[in-house]
Amino acid sequence: MQVDEPVRLPRLSRVAVCGGTHGNELSGVYLVREMLKPENRKEDGGPASLLMLLSNPRAVQQCTRYVDTDLNRCFTHATLNGPASEGAPYEIFRARELNNLLGPKGSRAAVDLICDLHNTTANMGLCFIAYSDCDWVCLHIFRHLQKQMPDTPMRFIHFDVSTKESYSLDSIGKHGFAMEIGPQPHGCVKSNIYTAMREGVQHMRDWVSCFNSGCVFEGGPVDVFTMVKNVDYPRDGETRNITAAIHPRLQDRDFCLLRPGEPLFQTFSGETVKYQGDEALYAFFINECAYYEKGIALSLARKRRVTVPSIHVQTDEEE
């Protein structure tokens, strides 16, 4: 019987942890501020250099999601490289600054790994959100956190979008993912959510140190939720105001399987609106407050099992 050799992957020399990409998602804001304190900046013995930053300082200052436009939709190739007029939104300028600092996106100069910290009002536990379901680095870090934090509900979400069209800050690193933790109201800090994020980031750093220093990580299965579609709230034809909320039987049940005919919304006059789709899918981002303006009441995903190979860092000669 043949044992597969571990896949050899390049060292992760430069890692970035970003908070405040949305200025009112406060766990990441306070965690990055804490990590930036001089007494916490001592090297942890790992060979990776760690860059920490607040992505949208103006929005953080105002405790709003963004100032002019959603920063975390500004990292497409088109927005980063198109012409920028004088009166362009602040976030477009800031996206280009961040691309210079951490990218350029798609280049050899880009940082090796970006972990971008987010909160959601949805009851999603701790999620990794990434554009690839075969980025072994992200998937191994996810497996490591699952093992280290067995009491924290944890899922891996895959947005099936091409590199060119990927739009979020983490897409400018060679590897990258958003660490999304909820439920927490925006503009609020809850200890348990903050602590989960702090532990998650520490375990990620430990994993990177261990990987760089030559540990072999055994492969295995990971359940991946691949985004299929978004569903909007029922709305008034004229005013576009929503006319229903998430049904109480679905609220807070992120990652449950939603079957055709099951309750989806409850109108403000009390009627139930059922899910009309013809495929059972997994619901997530249920009632994320910041998505009302995007026309998203919840997202739906298909689940499948991905087998992750064992990995090992490349030696200097291989690089």
Tell me: does residue 248 bind a copy of itself (CB under 8 A). yes
CB-based contact 215:237 (threshold 8 Å): no
- Please report, as residue ranges, which positions from 93 to 122 form the binding site for a copy of itself (by CB under 8 A): 121
* Per-residue tokens: 13: 């020399």
> What is d(CA 165, CA 14) in angstroms, rounded to the nearest whole number?
24
> Considering only residues 8-67, where is the footprint of a copy of itself by CB under 8 A?
30-31, 33-34, 40, 63
Please, which residue, 272 or 310, has the CB nearer to a copy of itself?
Answer: 272
Find the part of the chain contacting a copy of itself (CB under 8 A) among 100-108, 131-139, 220-228, 268-276: 268-276
Does 180 qualify as catalytic in the annotation?
yes
77 annotated ligand-binding residue = no
Using CB under 8 A, which of the segments 46-54, 96-104, 219-227, 237-245 binds a copy of itself? Answer: 237-245
Residues across the chain: 319
Please state the closest distance from residue 242 (CB atom) to a copy of itself, in A. 7
| Minimum CB distance to a copy of itself, residue 144 (Å) | 21
22 is in an annotated binding site: yes
130 belongs to the binding site for a copy of itself (CB under 8 A):
no
The answer to whether 296 contacts a copy of itself (rule: CB under 8 A) is: no
Determine the Cα–Cα distance for residues 297 and 229; give it in Å rounded to an integer: 11
In the window 59-98, what residues touch a copy of itself (CB under 8 A)? 63
Is position 295 an interface residue for a copy of itself (rule: CB under 8 A)? no
Instruction: Tell me which stretch binds a copy of itself (CB under 8 A): 138-146, 154-162, 240-248, 310-318.
Output: 240-248
Q: Which is nearer to a copy of itself, 29 or 130 (CB)?
A: 29
Residues binding a copy of itself: number (CB under 8 A): 34
Q: Which is nearer to a copy of itself, 223 or 252 (CB)?
A: 252
Q: Please report how close the Cβ of residue 181 comes to a copy of itself at its closest, in angstroms.
A: 14
Cα–Cα distance for residue pair 28/289, rounded to 1 Å? 18
25 is in an annotated binding site: yes
Whether 95 and 75 have beta carbons less than 8 Å apart is answered as yes
Catalytic residue among 180, 262, 317, 318: 180
Q: Is 188 in the site for a copy of itself (CB under 8 A)?
A: yes
CB 180 within 8 A of CB 17: no
**Choices 2-10, 15-23, 170-178, 246-254 (CB under 8 A): range interacting with a copy of itself:** 246-254
Crossing angle between the packed helical segments 136-148 and 191-212, to the nearest 10 degrees: 120
Q: 123 and 183 in contact (C-beta within 8 Å)? A: yes
Contact partners, residue 100, CB within 8 Å, separation at least 6: none
What is the binding site for a copy of itself (CB under 8 A)? Answer: 30-31, 33-34, 40, 63, 121, 183, 185-192, 194-195, 241-242, 245-248, 251, 266, 268-270, 287, 289-290, 292-293
Residues carrying an active site annotation: 180
Q: Where is the binding site for Zn(2+), in residues?
A: 22, 25, 118
Write out the binding residues: 22, 25, 118
